[in-house]
Structure 1
Amino acid sequence: MSHAPELSRRFSFRRLAQMPVEEKITANVTECAALAKRFDLPRLDSLSCRFRLTQGERHSVLAEGWLAARVTQVSVISGEAFDDAVAETFAIRFVPRHEFREDDGVDLEAPDVLPYDNDSIDLGEVAAEQLGLALDPYPRMQGEGLDEAVDVVPAEDEPAEEREDAQARPNPFAALASRREGKH
């Protein structure tokens, strides 16, 4: 990490003698403003995250998290700012850096695996990163949608030969559908 985190709360794994450990972090006004700038948000009104940390095998630590935030985003459709709530649950397994392998197979059902150094992690930065992952990259206000202008059926005013060409083209998903139905 090349910059100082906007929200920093160090947690020492030595505290895991009593298992599990519950931690809650809440960003203050200054931290919210800095995170809003980081994530290019007009405003971040609140961010809190509750963690349950459990010691695993071979010095690994499982962090289960529950994140809640109030943000203001800008709609990609109308360009208008709107308030939104973000709620996310997540799980991360921290392993000592010397045991971390990026080339291990990806198990989509397993928690993400991240390395740590010096027997501690920054729960504030974990919460900030999870907020970044939870934000919709294409935010839009409730009820706003893309116009139904994308029409796969040729318009009636198109020349007849173009309508016939469109109807004669094979469906690219037909082969997949037949395999799914067992019609190899």
Structure 2
Amino acid sequence: MTMSQQDQLPLRRPIRVESITLRPVAAEVVPEQADLPAIAAFLGVASVEALEASYSLSRNGERVKLEGMIKASLHQSCVVTLDPFPVELNVPIKLDFAPEAEIAAMAKPSEDDEIDIEVLLNEEEPPESIVDGVIDLGAVTLEFLALSLDPYPRKPGVAFSEPAPETPAESPFAALLQLKRE
């Protein structure tokens, strides 16, 4: 996410990397009640009633490790009935952060290297970027909350039933077909 995209987020909680120590530092992200409608609009849900994220951050050199949990109470709209229904989410998070320069150096192939894409299962995720010495916990919270939402939510007990096939209307050319047969 670029800085201009982060500036447009309805939830921002920047934390300077210098304020994070080797010992875990606790950080809470709890938006104001007035911010919840904007967060709901950003996430594309009917409403957000409560949102709380608890994080533990620790630093080793220039790298930062983040672990925590996001808890949210919200309403999503059912894709079948379009009725809003309550959803409770508990989203665990584990992330590593590294300076942008370090990530760019890891991603940049040397001139002798061939570009080869290989997908390895169970491979550790690359670290996220530390932008200008700051990690935005609000952006992290919104990103993981959005990823945990069901893209096709159904209200409990609702099932989609295929509509009965319509009987085709008689074609205006049916009369001509009858004349041809006679």
- With normalisation by structure 1, the TM-score equals 0.71
Structure 1 pair 84–59 and aligned structure 2 pair: CA distance change class (3 A): same
Task: Determine whether 1:98 maps to 2:112.
Answer: no
- Corresponding position of 1:152: none
Matches within 5 A, 1:64-79: 64-79=67-82
- Corresponding position of 1:126: 140
Shift of 1:31: 1.9
Task: Determine whether 1:46 maps to 2:60.
Answer: no
Shift of 1:87: 0.9
- Equivalents in 2 of 1:12, 1:48: separation in Å? 20
Q: Which runs of 5+ in 1 are unaligned?
A: 150-184
Structure 1 pair 115–107 and aligned structure 2 pair: CA distance change class (3 A): farther
Give the secondary structure class of the aligned counterpart of 1:17.
coil
Q: Which runs of 5+ in 2 are unaligned?
A: 109-116, 163-182
- Equivalents in 2 of 1:89, 1:109: separation in Å? 19
- Corresponding position of 2:65: 62
Q: String of CA shifts for 1:54-109, please: whole Å, max 9, x gaps.
A: 113x5111111200001110011221111111111011111100111458966646
Q: Which has the larger radius of gyration?
A: 2
Structure 1 window deviating more from structure 2 (24-33 vs 106-115): it is 106-115
- With normalisation by structure 2, the TM-score equals 0.72
- Corresponding position of 2:32: 28
Residue correspondences, number: 147
- Corresponding position of 1:137: 151
Structure 1 pair 130–112 and aligned structure 2 pair: CA distance change class (3 A): farther
CA contact (8 A) 1:91 1:112 kept: no
Shift of 1:26: 0.3
Match of 2:46, as an amino acid?
P
- Corresponding position of 1:164: none
Q: 1:19 aligns with which of 5, 20, 23?
A: 23
Structure 1 pair 111–128 and aligned structure 2 pair: CA distance change class (3 A): same
- Root-mean-square deviation over aligned CA pairs: 2.2
Deviation >6 Å, runs of 4+: none
Structure 1 pair 106–96 and aligned structure 2 pair: CA distance change class (3 A): farther
Structure 1 pair 26–97 and aligned structure 2 pair: CA distance change class (3 A): same
Q: Share of identical aligned residues, percent?
A: 24
